[in-house]
Structure 1
Amino acid sequence: MATTGADRSLTQASLPKQNLPLVRRLEAVGFRAWPAASVQYDGSWQVRLTAGHPSNRLNSIVPLDPSDHRDVEIRLEKASRKFEAYGRPAVVRETPLASRILIDLIKEQGWKRFDETVVMVCDLSQADLPDTLDHLPTHDVGRFVDANLAVDQAQLSLKPALAEIISAIKPPCGLFMIDDATHGPLATVLCVQDNDLAGVMSLSVAGSHRRKGLGIEILTSALRWARMRSARTAWLQVKLSNAPAIALYDRLGFRDAYHYCYWQERCE
């Protein structure tokens, strides 16, 4: 029987214990794979801000120790003021590393919960991947950014920020895309290889060309590239509501590692 998004949510909520070392490691590589322009620490809280890009991964307060709940109300207010200076409401990213005292506080304050996301992992040694690369990565960041924005039908004003984010990625990364002369860019994916881990970022397929196998075609090329470079485990993040993408990842052997969600400060 297929696992639905609701099933995943209930299963996650009922888990009595999380693999916190794995969560910490995946969070760390995630930060390196998608670097924010400004990162500040308050104890174990990471405050990530990026003025030119709206991504919540780049603009959120990320608690990294469940036992760090000293002066939470004061520290939350202080962090929220940093977001106010950027002209946006504060956002907290709740992972299994967040203190329950902090989460209870933002619930009491009426913060809004949204975007439950699944972090999934795959053993690349067991993954059924092509023997050869169907697509080679490009080193042209500008061309990749143009393709990614076109596939996502995103605002062109995001180009400078997105190019800056990708250029700031320190681990080796492969920029993959599929396009043709008639339709232009059809699919993109960014794969970041951080030692034995490979992060899959920004997998997108043009709306007019979905359900044609392009997603699995470009994803398997990226994973094959990472495995050739000695990556042993792949990881990715996908919204719980994105059932087609989750089904694709399930087919390739990805399994849930943990969930996270966001909380947004109530606007007066």
Structure 2
Amino acid sequence: MTEALPKKANLPLVRRLEAVGFRAWPASSVVYDGSWQVRLTAGHPSNRLNSIVPLDPSDHRDVEIRLAKASRKFEAYARPAVLRQTPLASPVLIDLVKAEGWTPFDETIVMTCDLANADLPDTLDHLPTHDISRFVDANLATDQVSTKLKPALAEVINAIKPPSGLFMVEDPQTGPLATVLCVQDNDLAGIMSLSVTPARRREGLGLEILTSALRWARMRSARSAWLQVKTGNVPAITLYERLGFVEAYRYSYWRRDLNR
């Protein structure tokens, strides 16, 4: 995996996008240690909801003690400690986890789009639903994820405080085809949970439902959109670039091996 992050990130923008990202996908437990945020959610395995997130590159006081303390919180959940490395993480902390044998994984690109001036394609429009249970069922089906996660996913979506649009495309015979969640936080619109059922990919459904969400956000005065995509997801990156999204920064995770 490539560990390298962009040479120079716009740190104020990174801080703002990290903050809206936390509000768009809220963890059930958040504890601060200095500028570090320790996020834990017992019922959901998402790394966004379960990770140590450093938010100040200069905050590296007592890193060994603090990292061990934060890691113990994960042990209580019987899961390995996970650290999120963004441009806001101290190099001293990253050197420490490397020395301790932590493993990097899931490099992700955060992309933004000038929504006010974006030329959105003329696709079929879809209106958001207010039925969270139905949306969760559709998202789990298109993602092909166990329905056992329904209570946890529903809890996360219910906890989102900014206005949210839940978009779905369904077929009366075969069921859910695509989903996307759009969270509007003042002038920023976050795109989450974009999913197309595997059998219907490359048919334009992703573009159709994503464009609907972006139009909805723009009508509600959002000026910029943001999203997160794994570096290996080339089809999705191509789609986002087509709509005008560009890379803002990257992050990756580091995992502590419970057996060490």
Range of TM-score over shorter length: over 0.9
Q: CA RMSD in A?
A: 1.4
- What is the CA–CA distance in structure 2 between the aligned matches of 1:176 and 1:14, rounded to whole Å? 32
Residue 240 of structure 1, aligned match among 231, 234, 237: 231
Aligned-residue offset at 1:126: 2.0
- SS of the residue aligned with 1:57? coil
- What is the CA–CA distance in structure 1 between the aligned matches of 2:33 and 2:200, rounded to whole Å? 45
1:47 corresponds to which residue? Answer: 38
Query: Do 1:133 and 1:225's aligned partners in 2 also have CA atoms closer than 8 Å?
Result: no
Query: Do 2:5 and 2:250's aligned partners in 1 also have CA atoms closer than 8 Å?
Result: no
**Matched positions, count:** 259
Residue 263 of structure 1, aligned match among 249, 254, 258: 254
Aligned-residue offset at 1:266: 2.1
Query: Do 1:133 and 1:224's aligned partners in 2 also have CA atoms closer than 8 Å?
Result: no
Query: Do 2:116 and 2:222's aligned partners in 1 also have CA atoms closer than 8 Å?
Result: no
2:156 corresponds to which residue? Answer: 165
1:140 corresponds to which residue? Answer: 131
- SS of the residue aligned with 1:70? coil
- SS of the residue aligned with 2:48? helix
- SS of the residue aligned with 2:134? helix
1:184 corresponds to which residue? Answer: 175
- What is the CA–CA distance in structure 2 between the aligned matches of 1:179 and 1:34, rounded to whole Å? 24
- What is the CA–CA distance in structure 1 between the aligned matches of 2:17 and 2:32, rounded to whole Å? 18
Letter in structure 2 aligned against 1:40: V
Letter in structure 2 aligned against 1:116: E
Q: 1:68-107 residue pairs with structure 2 within 5 A?
A: 68-107=59-98
1:125 corresponds to which residue? Answer: 116
Offset from partner CA, 1:215-259 (integer Å, 9 cap, x none): 000000000000000000000000001000000000000000000
Offset from partner CA, 1:81-120 (integer Å, 9 cap, x none): 0000001000000000000000000000000000000000
Query: Do 1:45 and 1:64's aligned partners in 2 also have CA atoms closer than 8 Å?
Result: yes
- Unpaired segments of 5 or more residues in structure 2? none
Is the alpha carbon distance of 1:217 and 1:132 closer, same or farther for their aligned partners in structure 2, counting shifts above 3 Å?
Answer: closer
Mean Cα deviation higher: 55-64 or 124-133: 124-133
- What is the CA–CA distance in structure 2 between the aligned matches of 1:250 and 1:142, rounded to whole Å? 31
Aligned-residue offset at 1:129: 1.9
TM-score by length of 1: 0.94
Is the alpha carbon distance of 1:258 and 1:90 closer, same or farther for their aligned partners in structure 2, counting shifts above 3 Å?
Answer: same
Would you say 1:194 and 2:185 are equivalent positions? yes
- What is the CA–CA distance in structure 1 between the aligned matches of 2:258 and 2:195, rounded to whole Å? 32
Query: Do 1:191 and 1:200's aligned partners in 2 also have CA atoms closer than 8 Å?
Result: yes
Query: Do 2:108 and 2:250's aligned partners in 1 also have CA atoms closer than 8 Å?
Result: yes
Aligned-residue offset at 1:32: 0.1
